[in-house]
Structure 1
């Protein structure tokens, strides 16, 4: 009888170990990528105090492997109140280059994607891995902005404040 009792205990212990190891492998990590999209009304190609939050804009997160053009993960999202977005990303992408880019503006008066200077195809690189030194699952992307065709008149004074010549 004692040997049947020991076998039952061993069997129960083995089941517990198997369930723990299965749970550890079953749950892939999830991350949250947060950021914001603005309408850059002064055409300075940087977010400033006159930039306007853009609810309803579409962004895309893409991760690529080492081989050129090797898209490994893609996810789109739409900004909400205050032009902020929150993307839930499945899996660890530590061996990949991930970035958020602009896809579609929600405003017909502000839909140009900057294409000059450092702002050619603006994007925000994001590190999405558990092996990053971050202690939580939230990753913050830099703000991105569409621009207006013409700067607003109030930008002249703003650019003077910054000592920037708007005709450069």
Structure 2
């Protein structure tokens, strides 16, 4: 065998060995996705001083590939006593679109998922890769909220304070 062929084989083997630690690290990649779930008692679809943390609410994180309906990763979680959830995600999902959505309310009086205006099917997109400039393993998801069927009477004063006039019945 020619010495150049031996060199090429040795070089290729060495390159493969150098890649193994990197492959082990990518396989062991973990991310923590954290966020909050609340009950929005005024039906404004944004957090305000009357919004209430929702313990026991269920959320779902899903990552999808480029093809429609191609769910590549899915994980559910439950909020703690302060309405906060913490999901441990395995693997790097840089080639996928990942988001957290509301799954189930823990309160019968606040179980509607907003479906109007900008809050239609609310979700929080999260980036789950180390190849994007973010440092660390923790990713913060935007807060998500269920709404009540009817706005709380206290909301009238809040609307006056915020100088907004939604067409709410109290």
User: What are the Cα deviations for residues 40-79 of structure 1, in whole angstroms up to 9, with x where unaligned?
Assistant: 0000011111100001000000000111111000000000
Distance 2:159 2:22 in 1: 55
Instruction: Give me the whole-angstrom Cα distance separating, in 1, the residues matched to 2:75 and 2:61.
Output: 5
CA distance in 2, matches of 1:84, 1:93: 23
**Aligned 8 A contact 1:156 1:166 in 2:** no
Q: Which residue of 1 aligns with 2:129?
A: 129
C-alpha contact 1:60 1:77 (8 A) present in aligned 2:
yes
- Is the 8 Å Cα contact of residues 124 and 142 (structure 1) preserved in structure 2? yes
Question: Residue 25 of structure 1: CA displacement?
Answer: 2.5
SS at match of 2:145: strand
1:161 aligns with 2:170: no
1:91 aligns with 2:66: no
Instruction: Name the count of aligned residue pairs.
Output: 151
Q: Which runs of 4+ in 1 moved over 3 A?
A: 20-24
Gaps of 5+ in 1: 1-17
Aligned position for 1:34: 34
C-alpha separation in 2, matches of 1:83 and 1:132:
29
Question: What TM-score results when the alignment is normalised by the length of structure 2?
Answer: 0.84
What is the alpha-carbon distance in structure 1 between the residues aligned to residue 81 and residue 68 of structure 2?
A: 36
The aligned residue for residue 25 of structure 1 is 23
Give the drift of 1:21.
6.0
Q: TM-score, normalised by structure 1?
A: 0.85
Give the aligned CA root-mean-square deviation in angstroms.
Answer: 1.6
Q: Which segments of 5 or more consecutive residues in structure 2 lack a partner in the other structure?
A: 1-16
User: After superposition, where does 1:7-86 map in structure 2 within 5 Å?
Assistant: 22-27=20-25, 28=27, 29-86=29-86
